[in-house]
Structure 1
Amino acid sequence: MLLLDGRPLQSRSSLRGIGTYTRGLISGLVELGDAGEIGLLLARGAPDPPEVGLHGVRPARERIALLHPTLQPAADPFLIARALRRIRPELYHGVEFGQPVVARVPVVVTVHDLIPFLYPRDYPWVRRSRALARRLLPRADRVIAVSQATARDVERLTRTPPSRVVVVPEGIAPMFEPATPAAIDEVRHRLGITRPFLLAVGAFDPRKRIQLLADVVRRVRSRHDVELVIAGEQGNFLWPVRGALAAAGLAACSRLAGHVTPEDLVALYTGTSCLVFTSAYEGFGLPPLEAMACGSPAAVFANSSLVEIAGPASVVQPDGDAAAMADAVCAILDDDSGRARRAVAGREWTAKFTWQRAAQLTFDVYKQAIRR
């Protein structure tokens, strides 16, 4: 049995990138057909995720105690080690750290990013809680990095031998394709969007740089009558987001949509004039790819993995240069024929980012780890 850490599917993480990754990988492995029995290591006392029972995916008989979020990462290496001794899978895959302190089975760990160690002042408690996981990483039989940028960080910050680090890009769910005009009109009406709009996606923690986004949009609005829509649950960052938009004079022309359904997100991606992505660091960066898959251009800054995934439908500007980003977005808004060409190019570029391909590459890593 291949055992995957399925706990991200039982919590609020299911709505974040880690949930997308875990679901996508499971679906890809199931379609692959060669992976055999797939088990999920789950948390005790939390409801089973919908993936349990799907095409033979089943929960492991041993479960992990559910602790306070600040304690869970520090306790996981010991709890998972005990569970693996009892379950005895053929291989264990920690999809977001979750590495055992010791194991008698091959261990693969996916690293999406090392943001808490790159921005320690912004994420102090996360950095402390992940300290043991960082030290354990070189012991894994194989480490999957979701981008070349993340692979470089893994090798530099954890001293994991390069021979054990394998880059496996993430996939895009098949549902990310151009929405119908009716779907776009419906979500525009429901959110009160009456003009062309720029789109931002995600929770604006410090590295997402809400002040920079507000500056870019303010500059664009000096030349184009556009609105700003931000999709994503902001949680503790709601008031800083509102404050930054108000300070830039954007309160009246901004829509904070909060968490949106996948169907609404597809409609927003399709209907936007441009996705504006101001993040300072991304381990992979799904929103630009999802926007391109839906036929819309994306504007990103030249940092981290974004230069890898940008593709021909994106515009890439010097990191942090709001004026350059605004000029690039305005150029897109001024060129309808160019936008149509970008839509075609973007769809072609994103077609290679599938969960089937990610699952095949991941399964190849499993075989390497088992042979090691």
Structure 2
Amino acid sequence: MPRRVLMTVDGVGGVWRYALDLAHGLAGRNVACRLLGLGPRSDADPEGVDLVWTDLALDWLTEDEAALDGIAARLAAEARVFDADLLHLNVASQAAGLTRTLPVVVVAHSCVPTWWRAVKDSPWPSAWAWQPRRNRDGLDRADATVAPSASHAAALAAVYGPLEGLHVVYNATDAASCDAPKQPFVLAAGRWWDEGKDAATLDRAAHASVWPVRMAGARRGPSGETVVTAHAEALGSLPPERLRALMQEAAIFVSTSRYEPFGLAVLEAASHHAALVLADIPSFRELWREAALFVPPGHADGFADAIATLAGDPGLRRRLALAAGAIAREFAPVRHLNGVLAAYDAATARHRARG
């Protein structure tokens, strides 16, 4: 097991929460962890976390591959300063060009090519030809690659081809279950500026919904993307404690996402015994099995009908909520931490074998 891990992080998406939780978990196993920030800074100032921010770019927020050319050298320098014995990179392309000095673990949370394949009905843009190539270079450099679900592991293989040293380590939540009285509203949460979340379908479903639909999360993205809704109640970005309170109150949680390598918001809602209405995509089917109502992606009337079914049947709503809560308990932080540490050990062994 490594003793000092340098981990990349960004403040835009779910990687921020993932990295903070994992850093605390590693500290509990006597593994020192320094977070190295890339891209736009988070507004949060986390306590008890060793965090250094850089001016390095994120691959999915740049149009110019040259903007990424300094990443490998900077990672190597920061690893020497921290005396790291393992690099944990949360974006595959960040491993491209790294020397063989240290073991490298890439956690493939998401990437533009797999997102495009799930969301877009058009050919890959020729101007972005560098993205899949650079990601593949990073995955080849990694001594171990981690995917947050078997479905996303399959999506990676479909885009990049076979990957050696691939591990599936499911994400986790430490949200305690809550049996507070449920209220008659539907909650959805996500980065709505991301086209993959499909805010348009959610808004159309809200228009036909028998219960009000509340939509938590940012509607303006880092590159100026903006989503406007007419029917769902847009709450904007909320503090974690406020979002948690809404999840405790919501009788139904819905996700219209067309692309979710895992779906942490769904897990957190399930842990609070919300009944789930989910887009019928591979990752949601894999994780939630019989514990949700599934609707074809993009079918607003189908989402509205599923909401009406649950709203009118308290018994079914309760059964699905309890089933989802039971599955949520499987995704415990200790299970996730043990999976990550196993990937670290595998990466270290493969690093030695590769010389």
TM more than 0.5: yes
Displacement of 1:67 = 5.2
CA, structure 1 residues 84+283, in 2 after alignment: closer, same or farther (shift >3 Å)? Answer: same
Q: TM-score, normalised by structure 2?
A: 0.81
Partner of 2:97: 101
- Superimposed CA distance per residue, residues 3-48 of structure 1 (whole angstroms, 9 cap, x where no aligned partner): 232442xx3x2xx3111211221222233x2x53333335699799
Describe how 1:206-355 pairs up with structure 2 within 5 A: 206-220=195-209, 224=210, 226-236=211-221, 240-242=227-229, 245=230, 250=231, 254-355=232-333
Displacement of 1:238 = 7.6
Aligned counterpart in structure 2 of residue 112 of structure 1, from 109, 122, 131: 109
Partner of 1:133: 135
Instruction: Structure 2: state its 5+ residue gaps.
Output: 351-355
Displacement of 1:59 = 5.4
Q: TM-score, normalised by structure 1?
A: 0.78
- CA distance in 2 between counterparts of 1:306 and 1:47 reads 28
Asked whether the 8 Å contact 2:276–2:324 carries over to 1, the reply is: no
Aligned counterpart in structure 2 of residue 197 of structure 1, from 169, 175, 185: 185
CA, structure 1 residues 165+313, in 2 after alignment: closer, same or farther (shift >3 Å)? Answer: same
CA, structure 1 residues 48+213, in 2 after alignment: closer, same or farther (shift >3 Å)? Answer: closer
- CA distance in 1 between counterparts of 2:135 and 2:16 reads 19
SS of corresponding position for 1:241 = coil
CA, structure 1 residues 295+238, in 2 after alignment: closer, same or farther (shift >3 Å)? Answer: farther
Displacement of 1:111 = 0.3
Displacement of 1:50 = 4.8
- Opposite residue 211 of structure 1, the aligned amino acid is A
- CA distance in 2 between counterparts of 1:126 and 1:79 reads 24
Q: Compare the two structures and name the one with the higher helix fraction.
A: 1
Describe how 1:50-69 pairs up with structure 2 within 5 A: 50-51=45-46, 54=48, 58=50, 64-66=54-56
Partner of 1:191: none
SS of corresponding position for 1:230 = strand
Partner of 1:143: 145
How much is the aligned-residue C-alpha RMSD, in angstroms? 3.2
- CA distance in 1 between counterparts of 2:80 and 2:45 reads 26
Aligned counterpart in structure 2 of residue 84 of structure 1, from 79, 83, 88: 79
Describe how 1:10-29 pairs up with structure 2 within 5 A: 11=11, 13=12, 16-29=13-26
SS of corresponding position for 1:113 = coil
Instruction: Structure 1: state its 5+ residue gaps.
Output: 185-194
Displacement of 1:81 = 3.3
Displacement of 1:180 = 4.8
Asked whether the 8 Å contact 2:188–2:213 carries over to 1, the reply is: yes
Is residue 177 of structure 1 aligned with residue 155 of structure 2?
Answer: no
CA, structure 1 residues 197+24, in 2 after alignment: closer, same or farther (shift >3 Å)? Answer: same
Asked whether the 8 Å contact 1:203–1:234 carries over to 2, the reply is: yes
Asked whether the 8 Å contact 1:88–1:105 carries over to 2, the reply is: no
Aligned counterpart in structure 2 of residue 157 of structure 1, from 153, 156, 159: 159
Asked whether the 8 Å contact 1:179–1:267 carries over to 2, the reply is: no
- Opposite residue 177 of structure 2, the aligned amino acid is E
* Number of aligned positions between the proteins: 333
